[in-house]
Structure formats: structure tokens, C-alpha cells
Amino acid sequence: MSVLVVEGLRAYYRTSAFGVPRDVRAVDDVSLAVEAGEIYGLAGESSSGKTTLIKTIAAATQPPLEVLAGSVTFNFPSGAIDMQRAGRSQLAAIRWRHLSYIMQGSMSVLNPVRRVHHAFVDFAFRHLGQPMPRFLDTVRAHLQRLQLAPDVLDAFPHQLSGGMRQRVTIALATVCRPEFIIADEPTTALDVVVQKDVLAMIRGIQRELGSSILFVTHDMAVHANLADRLGILYAGRLVEEGRTADIFRAPRHPYTAHLIASLPRLGDTAPKAGLGGVPPNLADPPPGCRFHPRCPRASAICRREVPPLEPVAPGHRVGCFHPEPAP
């Protein structure tokens, strides 16, 4: 049974300017599933809706963001939970213990005026149910396993480097051994060398805990090196999904194909073509397939109807009326 099941999720920002209602269709009819122990990469550029999607999955929605349809269900060993219907105490019970997050800005997680160990106490203490001395020992052992010096607990966040802070954030997110971790661009602001270490750390801890990770980033190179399966988001819709190797070897959706082809690689000077056009305005998206204005393969039906996500190979789904031919 999948750990996370998202079914037909629709979440819009409902606003009104001068009495005229305006819906920003950030997540439109997204369905996906994440299995136990797998790293599911969510790839999307700006205005793809990926941030809204994670907020909705984590039930962290606030007006004007509203969930209009669909469901998000987590199947933890302790029981299934429907995120839209769960009450606050239920959500508080699973947060951090079964479902945790690694954010992009580590400084937004760690309180700049308190030492690091306070963050561990605030987030994890009540979940582990151990008396304080034993809890601190558990934390120190956890840090050591992640190759972090335990004296990091006594430092203030600003005394640590950006990479160090991000590693602490990862340790924080994994100390309760959650079944599911949502990682939102955890390496984007980091230098290349530090990024490599942080990704290795994420891979290591994932393998040890057997958690599932929903890893969101726009950086395709990170997905190529980390994700087991990959979902491509465009303009609020999932347009392709499959095993990472399959998607990179033979992308079927024109957007994915263009995206991968346009990435420069070290050692390669062949000319690359960028994708023409601009990402659509989610308040007024194009009818039918949202990619059709920029798609070289678009036809009349693309302008009228939304292509459903259909399997084109085992474990590989594409939402396109004219997918790229199989290799």
C-alpha cells in the first residue's frame, strides 16, 4: 500500500480584486502515489504549482488557498489519515513523528536567537516520550550517525555555515524516524560542493530509515542523481511521471523532452535551444492542454481538451495527445 495517495487534488487561490473574483489555479487535478521507502522527485519550474502542492499535501493551507476537490491520504503503520478531514490534534500527532519537512531556508526553521538544541526539544521532545536526559542522548547519537559533531547542539544558528545549518535541519527532520519526509528545495541555496554532501546525507538517512521522501526541486540534475521516480509538474498539472532513468532516457512529454535537452552539461558544447514562450499565468491558463502555446506538436485537440495521464509503458504515465515517439 502506498504511503501517500493524492487523488484528483484541486487547490486554488481564491482572491478578488475590486469585487471581481479571481482564481489562481495552482494545483489542478493532480493524482499521484508515493510508495514506502522510495524517493519521489517532483520537478517543476516557477508557477508550476509545486509549492502549493506540498502545502496542500501537508495540510498547511490557509486562505486564500482553498482545496476545492480531491483527497490526500497518508497510510502510516499506525493508521490511515485523510489530511483534509483530520482534526488539529490528529495532525499535531502525526507531524514530525510520521511526517516531517526539510525546508529550503534553514534559517526559517532554526530560531536565530536560541541555541540549536532548543529546536530539537521544541519539535521532537513530545513525540519521543523519553525523559529529557535520555532524549538528549538520543539526539546526540542521531547526530553522530549523521556525522555531525554533537557540540553543534550548543551553537547558535548563525555560528554555523549554511551547509552545516541545512544538515542540522535534516537531522531535526529525521530524529523521530518519520515514515514520510517532504523536502522543499533543500539544496537550492547551497554551493555545489556543500550540495553534494547534503544530498549524500539525505540519501544515507533515507536508506537507513526506509522513509519515503517527496523531494521537490526545479534542478533536474539533482533529480537525476537522487530520485527513484519522477513527476513533472507544469502549470499546476502533472504532465509526466515515471522511473527517473526512463524519463531521462526517453522523455515522452514535449515539455520534459525540451527541458532535458536544454540543460547544459559539463563537457558538452553542442548548442542548446531554450524553450520558447513563457510559463502560463495560472489565473488565466490556456484552455485544454496548458502547454499547447509553447508546444511544437500542438494540434486542434490540444487547444480544446485536457489530455489525461495515460500509461505509455509500465510505470510511465504521460498526459499528452501527441507524446514523443518511443526510442
Partner 1 sequence: MDFLSLLRVNRQFAAGVVLLAVIAGFACLSFFSPYPPNDSFVVPPDVPPSAEYWFGTTSRGQDLFWLLTFAIRNTLLFGIVVAVLSRLLALLIGLVAGYSGGLVDRALMSINDTFIVIPLFPILVLFYFVLKDHMSWSLLALMMACLGWSYDARLIRSVALSLRHREFTETGIFSGMSTRQILVEEHLPYVLPIVFSTTMNNINWSIGLEVTLSVLGFTDINTPTVGVMIYWANQHTALVAGIWWWIFFPVLLVVMTFIGLFLLAVSMNEHIDPRSRLGRSER
Partner 2 sequence: MTALLELQNVSRHYGGGLFSRRQVMAVRDVSLRLEQGRPEIFTVVGESGSGKTTLARMILGMVTPSSGAIRFQGTDLSTVHGARARRAFMRKVQPIFQNPFEAFNPMKRVDRYLFATARRMADVTGAAAIAEAADTALKSVGLSLAEVGGRFPHQLSGGQLQRVAIARALIPRPALLVADEPVSMIDASLRASIVNLLRELRDRNGLTIIYITHDLATAYYVSDRIIIMRQGIVVESGEARAVLDNPQHPYSQLLKSAVLSPEVPTGVSHA
CB 212 within 8 A of CB 98: no
What is the Cα–Cα distance from 255 to 217, expressed in whole angstroms? 16
Contact status: 225 vs partner 2 (CB under 8 A): yes
Number of Cβ within a 10 Å radius of residue 63: 8
Q: Does residue 102 sit in helix, strand or coil?
A: strand
SS3 216: strand
Residue 327 found at the interface with partner 2 (CB under 8 A): no
What is the chain's length?
A: 327
- Which part of the chain contacts partner 2 (CB under 8 A), choosing from 1-9, 111-119, 142-150, 220-228? 220-228
19 touches, from partner 2, partner 1, none (C-beta below 5 to 8 Å by class): partner 1
Tell me how far, at minimum, the Cβ of 18 lies from partner 1, in Å. 4
The Cα 21–Cα 35 span in angstroms is: 38
What lies within 8 Å, CB to CB, of 104 at 6+ separation is 184, 185, 186, 188, 189
**Residue 89 engages partner 1 in binding (rule: CB under 8 A):** no
What residues contact residue 27 under an 8 Å CB cut-off, 6+ apart?
A: 9, 10, 11, 12, 49, 52, 53, 56, 236
Number of H helices, E strands in the chain: 10, 12
| 273 binds partner 2, rule: CB under 8 A | yes
* 46 lies in the site for partner 2, by CB under 8 A: yes
Q: Does 248 bind partner 2 (CB under 8 A)?
A: yes
Residue 38 binds partner 2, judged by CB under 8 A? yes
Our finding on whether 264 is near partner 2 (CB under 8 A) is yes
CA distance linking residue 158 with residue 156, whole number of Å:
6
89 or 269: whose CB is closer to partner 2?
Answer: 269
What are the phi and psi torsion angles at 170 (to 5°)? -70, -40
Compute the least distance from the CB of residue 229 to partner 2, in Å.
9
Q: Which entry of partner 1, partner 2, none binds 108, CB below 5 to 8 A by partner kind?
A: none
Nearer to partner 1, 2 or 51 (CB): 51
Residue 133: how many other CB atoms lie within 10 Å:
8
Could you give phi then psi for residue 147, rounded to 5 degrees?
Answer: 60, 40
Binding partner of residue 282 among partner 1, partner 2, none, CB cut-off 5 to 8 Å per kind: partner 1
105 binds partner 2, rule: CB under 8 A: no
Q: What's the closest the beta carbon of residue 284 comes to partner 1, in angstroms?
A: 10
168 binds partner 1 (CB under 8 A): no
C-alpha distances in angstroms, 202 versus 186, 194, 263? 10, 12, 24
Which residues in 19-78 contact partner 1 (CB under 8 A)?
Answer: 19, 22, 24, 26, 46-47
Part in contact with partner 2 (CB under 8 A); list of ranges 114-122, 125-133, 169-177, 267-275: 267-275
Q: How far apart are CA 264 and CA 271, in angstroms?
A: 9
Task: Give whichever of 18 and 193 is closer to partner 1, judged by the CB atom.
Answer: 18
**Phi then psi for 36, rounded to 5 degrees?**
-65, 135
Pick from 272, 311, 313, 315 the residue near partner 2 by CB under 8 A.
Answer: 272
Binding-site residue total for partner 1 (CB under 8 A)?
13
Under the rule (CB under 8 A), what is the footprint of partner 2? 37-39, 45-46, 162, 191-193, 195-196, 199, 218-222, 224-225, 227-228, 244-245, 248-249, 255, 258-260, 262-269, 271-276, 278-279
Under the rule (CB under 8 A), what is the footprint of partner 1? 13, 15, 17-19, 22, 24, 26, 46-47, 281-283
